[in-house]
Chains A and B, each alone.
Chain A
Amino acid sequence: MPSAVPLSWYLILSAILFCLGIAGFIFRRNIITVFMSIELMLNAVNLSFIAFSYQLRQVDGHIFSFFVMVVAAAEAAVGLAIILTVFKNRATLAIDDVSSMNN
């Protein structure tokens, strides 16, 4: 690795981003924010994949991250469609109000 940035920095950044994603997922109530948190977690994982891939001089991590991006894109398409439908039907984006289970 020619640059002076060591692997651990990438991993720490990845971990921070992932934790931010988790926090957003758990604590935010807006569905769109939750959705973006998921994207953030996926991209945090992508970052660590790429970092390891570069470190180990292997192409596997790159391939994995492409897969993750494809899945994320597909998920964004489906997820946004769901969010739109939910909003049309319920006129709310608050995630707790969407639950239809009786407690």
Chain B
Amino acid sequence: MQHLWLIPLFPFLGFLINGLFGRKWPNSLVGAVAVGSVVASFAWVVKVLLGVGELEHAYVERYFTWIQSGGVNIGVDLAVDRLTAVMLLVVTGIGSLIHIYATGYMSHEGGFYRFFSYLNLFMFFMLTLVLGANYLLLFVGWEGVGLCSYLLIGFYTLKKSAGDAAKKAFIVNRIGDFGFSLAMFLIMVNFGSLDFGTVMAKVAPLPVEQTMGILTIIALLLFVGATGKSAQVPLYVWLPDAMEGPTPVSALIHAATMVTAGVYMTARSATIFTHAPMAMEVVAVVGVITAVMAATIGMTQFDLKKVFAYSTVSQLGYMFIACGVGAFSAGIYHVVTHAFFKALLFLGAGSVIHALEGEQDMRHMGGLRKKIPITFAVLCCAWVAIAGIPGTSGYFSKDAILLAAHHHHPWMYWVGVITAGMTAFYVSRSMFMTFWGEYRGHHHPHESPAIMWVPLAILAALSLAGGKLFDVPHYLEPLFPMAHEEHDMTLVAIASSAGFIGIGLAYFMYVLSPGIPKSIAATLGPIYKLVYNKYFVDEVYDATVVSPMVAGSRSVLWRVVDAGVIDGIVNGTGTVARGIGSVLRTLQSGQIRSYAAWVTAGSVIVLVALSFLAGGAQ
């Protein structure tokens, strides 16, 4: 026994301790409990991975039966295979760094203990999600991380925008979860189990579906779940708004871990997806659309965190391209490297925002290169990584995806390359606007404390070297065999040069001649407006879904059902009781002789009735 259950237990204990007692404790103690629990979890992951050996097959621990009803038998089982191992290391490793960083970042904020108990609870659910050996346990973690995401987006409870963003995230995710639930029901009905091993063993011998079959439907419904959690078109709208939460939350939940749960789940269900080529095609196309759309929006935003949020959506699109073209290991590879550099980007952005006392608008930044040099240095590492400069982590994973895409459909490769160029452009743009030029704000920037920049330095090292260091696709080969080994250097060179072109273009537009962006925006006019306003997707959803729902709730559910039916029943009960009372109360006159008369009359009636009954009985 490796005692896998201890891995999620540590953060859960941290959640309980901080949640119950942290209110009165000093921040240092709360921080120590929170960080300690996650680091303990990380240490236990390492111990387990050293203990289980090569992991050629999944290592499963079965604890107890959870649901037993007829043919349904679902256990609380945890499992580790190579995919889970990768995810565990990312979640606990990056999670530890972000927890450490957050103790510094949140030190001036109220609700310190609340923040860390939520964050620990998130770790618990995320670890349940990746460790669960069946779909239902995965779903428990899936919903749990959604809950924690909701709580942490709305962490600043006094800000209305934060509350709205939290509700939006929660509700949009419900749509995805609906699809996921249906998929689970279908799996249960068709394969009689939700256990990954059992289901995949039953799916594997089935023929590949060329038309719309049951596996295609299951795969598509699973993907609906993934689009919600992993912010794909058309359900991506919650993620940019989710930036209302504290920045460490954006880094941990909305960049590095939770939003990759959809990719993890797709990879976990790879056997189902590979048997449903039509569903795969949908996944890839949705990924492409998301990647391009989010990248274009990212190029026009001025809020530093919003840029990175759209960048996250775009990069998640990349991961789904990988899954859609069958290169699951490349997708997971990108999950890992993206966790490094995007967590770093967010934490670095947090460090910038921290230095500027809450300023997020890049138009009020600039020239920070000299003022916060450490933050600048680490952000540069993330910058080159996400731009895909050869040798950095982003280069390896992006190339793996693009090559797989080229093998599948060359047009996907070309769109991916253009998106890579746009990615390099918008990240460079935000870097140039933040760190170059003259300082345009009115704060006094100060460098962040060591507790914040040390985790950043570690992430910077991982962003640069992590791709080479961790050869994820090779490690995952027993699970996802690599179909092709062609490594066309021309394609790689084209993809890399797209990154350089993006950086160069941004340098030209935002450093050399800063007037150009405005004139381009003016020239493009309506197109720029369309992109700047995020294609008006929020407005369209508002008009087509939200407003009718609100109007319907107001006119039908409130005025008719609530005020009419429900209140009517309640008030009617009261009215009837009062009516009966108004008749009966005349009897209670306080005149003792009238009571006596009633008693006598009653007795007489009883006697007469009894004598009639007795007469009838004879």
Interface string of A74-102 (1 = CB under 8 A from B): 00000000000000000000011001110
By the criterion CB–CB under 8 Å, are B590 and A103 in contact? yes
By the criterion CB–CB under 8 Å, are A25 and B589 in contact? no
Chain B residues with CB under 8 Å of A100's CB are 590
By the criterion CB–CB under 8 Å, are B589 and A95 in contact? no
| A: number of interface residues (CB 8 Å) | 11
A4: interface (CB < 8 Å):
no
Chain B residues with CB under 8 Å of A22's CB are 596, 600
| B: number of interface residues (CB 8 Å) | 9
Complexed CA–CA distance, A96 and B596 (Å): 13
Interface string of B574-618 (1 = CB under 8 A from A): 000000000000001111110011001000000000000000000
Chain B residue with the shortest CB-CB distance to A22: B600
By the criterion CB–CB under 8 Å, are A25 and B596 in contact? yes
Chain B residues with CB under 8 Å of A27's CB are 593
By the criterion CB–CB under 8 Å, are B597 and A96 in contact? no
Q: Most A CB atoms within 10 A — which of B589, B591, B593, B597?
A: B593
A1: interface (CB < 8 Å):
no
B600 contact from A26, A34, A96, A103, Cβ within 8 A: A26
Chain A residue with the shortest CB-CB distance to B597: A26
Chain B residue with the shortest CB-CB distance to A102: B590
Main secondary structure of the interface of B (DSSP, over half): helix
Q: How far is the CB of A75 from chain B (nearest CB, A)?
A: 15
A101 contact from B589, B596, B597, B600, Cβ within 8 A: B589
Chain A residue with the shortest CB-CB distance to B604: A22
By the criterion CB–CB under 8 Å, are A26 and B596 in contact? yes
Complexed CA–CA distance, A98 and B578 (Å): 29
Complexed CA–CA distance, A34 and B256 (Å): 92
By the criterion CB–CB under 8 Å, are A95 and B592 in contact? yes
Q: How far is the CB of A24 from chain B (nearest CB, A)?
A: 10
Q: Which residues from 59 to 81 on chain A have a C-beta closer than 8 Å to any C-beta of chain B?
A: none
Q: Which residues from 1 to 59 on chain A have a C-beta closer than 8 Å to any C-beta of chain B?
A: 22, 25-27, 34
By the criterion CB–CB under 8 Å, are A25 and B590 in contact? no
Complexed CA–CA distance, A95 and B590 (Å): 11
By the criterion CB–CB under 8 Å, are A101 and B590 in contact? yes
A103 contact from B589, B592, B593, B596, Cβ within 8 A: B589
Chain B residue with the shortest CB-CB distance to A23: B600
By the criterion CB–CB under 8 Å, are A99 and B600 in contact? no
Q: How far is the CB of A17 from chain B (nearest CB, A)?
A: 15
Chain A residues with CB under 8 Å of B590's CB are 99-101, 103
Q: How far is the CB of B22 from chain A (nearest CB, A)?
A: 59
Chain B residues with CB under 8 Å of A95's CB are 592-593
Q: How far is the CB of B244 from chain A (nearest CB, A)?
A: 62
Complexed CA–CA distance, A45 and B595 (Å): 21
Chain A residues with CB under 8 Å of B592's CB are 95, 99
Complexed CA–CA distance, A103 and B590 (Å): 8
By the criterion CB–CB under 8 Å, are B589 and A96 in contact? no
Q: How far is the CB of B611 from chain A (nearest CB, A)?
A: 14
Q: How far is the CB of B600 from chain A (nearest CB, A)?
A: 6
Complexed CA–CA distance, A61 and B592 (Å): 30
Chain B residue with the shortest CB-CB distance to A31: B592
Complexed CA–CA distance, A95 and B332 (Å): 95
Q: How far is the CB of A2 from chain B (nearest CB, A)?
A: 31
A25 contact from B588, B591, B593, Cβ within 8 A: B593
Chain A residues with CB under 8 Å of B593's CB are 25-27, 34, 95-96
Interface string of B21-49 (1 = CB under 8 A from A): 00000000000000000000000000000
Q: How far is the CB of A81 from chain B (nearest CB, A)?
A: 17
Q: How far is the CB of B2 from chain A (nearest CB, A)?
A: 80
Complexed CA–CA distance, A103 and B596 (Å): 18
Complexed CA–CA distance, A39 and B558 (Å): 65
Complexed CA–CA distance, A34 and B600 (Å): 15
Chain A residues with CB under 8 Å of B597's CB are 26
Complexed CA–CA distance, A34 and B592 (Å): 10
Complexed CA–CA distance, A25 and B595 (Å): 11
Chain A residues with CB under 8 Å of B591's CB are 96, 99
Complexed CA–CA distance, A34 and B593 (Å): 9
Chain B residues with CB under 8 Å of A99's CB are 589-592
Complexed CA–CA distance, A96 and B593 (Å): 8
Q: Most B CB atoms within 10 A — which of A25, A27, A95?
A: A25
Q: How far is the CB of B457 from chain A (nearest CB, A)?
A: 85
- 12 pairs across A/B with beta carbons < 8 Å? A25-B596, A26-B596, A26-B597, A34-B593, A95-B593, A96-B591, A99-B589, A99-B590, A100-B590, A101-B588, A101-B589, A103-B590
Given contacts A99-B589, A103-B589, 13 further A-B contacts (CB under 8 A): A22-B596, A22-B600, A25-B596, A26-B593, A26-B596, A26-B597, A95-B593, A96-B591, A99-B591, A99-B592, A100-B590, A101-B590, A103-B590
Interface residues of B (CB under 8 A from A): 588-593, 596-597, 600
Closest 8 CB pairs of A and B: A101-B590, A99-B590, A25-B596, A26-B597, A26-B593, A26-B596, A22-B600, A99-B591
